[in-house]
Structure formats: structure tokens, C-alpha cells
Amino acid sequence: MSAQQHIKPTESELEILNVLWQQGSATVREVHEKLALKKEVGYTTTLKLMQIMLDKGLVSREVSGKTHVYTPEVDKEKTQGQIMQRMIETMFNGSAMQMVMQALGNHKATKAELDMIRDYLDKKSKK
């Protein structure tokens, strides 16, 4: 069974994956520097998490001398979809509508975002 089939990254692992998805691949130091911009995190913590992620199959590692370059092994959209599905099932009793209403109620959407949502819903209703 591949990691792609049962993706269950922790919140900290998702933060690392977001850096890797954005950059394509990165060293532990590069990931750590990005994470440190948003929160206090120790380098050894980042290193340990990335080693765990390697063991889980969430990332791969290429060794070049002393440098270890990590690359995500899970697809961003598929991971987001699986996490959203799990959240809809557990937090909103399977109701996507309740989840969307909660999200829109807690977040001030811009006019552009609302227009994109309307366009998306229009396209979905025509299928």
C-alpha cells in the first residue's frame, strides 16, 4: 500500500509538505528557514520530522555529499482532497454544505473569491 493511498500527515508534516510543494524540493535547512518565518521551530525538530516523513513514504531523499534534498512523494491536490473528505465526514457529519457554510461564515471572502465560487457552482450544476 503506497503512502498516496492512505495519506495521514500530521499538522507539522503538512507544514513541511506545503514548503516542499511550493519549492519542488529542498534541504532540511531550506524547509526549516521557511517554517521559522511563521513559527518558532527547532532545526533538529524539522530534521526529525522529515526523517519520519521519509519513513512514511511522504517524501523521498537524494543524498549529494553532505546535502540531503527532500522531494514530496504525495500529490498536493490528492492530499488536500483526502484531508477534506476526512474532515467533512468527521466534523460535518458528511455534509459538504455545512463545511462550506462554516468556511464562508468564518472567512471574509473577497468579491473575486465569491465570483470564482459562483462560477464553480455554475459549472458543477451543468454537469
pLDDT band of 126, cuts 50, 70, 90:
confident
Q: Chain centroid to CA 97: how far?
A: 22
Q: Give the pLDDT of residue 5.
A: 54
Given 31, 53, 72, which residue is the final one in a domain?
A: 72
Q: Are residues 62 and 15 located together in one domain of the fold? A: yes
Q: Which of 32-36, 48-52, 92-96 has the lowest mean pLDDT?
A: 92-96
Half-sphere exposure of 64 (CA within 13 A, CB side): 5
Task: Looking at the structure, tell me whether residues 16 and 57 fall in a common domain.
Answer: yes
Residue 100: which residues within 8 A CB-CB, separation 6 or more? none
Are 40 and 54 part of one and the same domain? yes
What is the strand order of the sheet 59-64 is part of? 26-27, 67-72, 59-64
Q: What global pTM score does this model have? A: 0.78
Domain containing residue 102: 76-126
Claim to verify: residue 68 and residue 51 sit in the same structural domain: yes
pLDDT in tens, 13-28: 999 999 999 999 999 9
Task: Say yes or no to pLDDT of 59 above 90.
Answer: yes
Exposure of 91 in the CB half-sphere (CA atoms within 13 A): 14
Do 55 and 96 belong to one domain?
no
Domain boundary among 46, 72, 98: 72
Whether residues 17 and 39 share a domain: the answer is yes
What's the pLDDT at 62? 96
Q: Are residues 105 and 59 in the same domain?
A: no
**What's the average model confidence in pLDDT over 5-11?**
78
Residue 50 lies in a domain: yes
Q: Is residue 1 part of a domain?
A: no
Among positive and negative, which fits the CA dihedral 107, 113, 114, 120?
negative
pLDDT value for 22: 97
Type of residue found at 84: M
43 vs 97, residue with greater confidence: 43
Query: How many structural domains is the chain composed of?
Result: 2
Residues 42 and 19 in one domain: yes
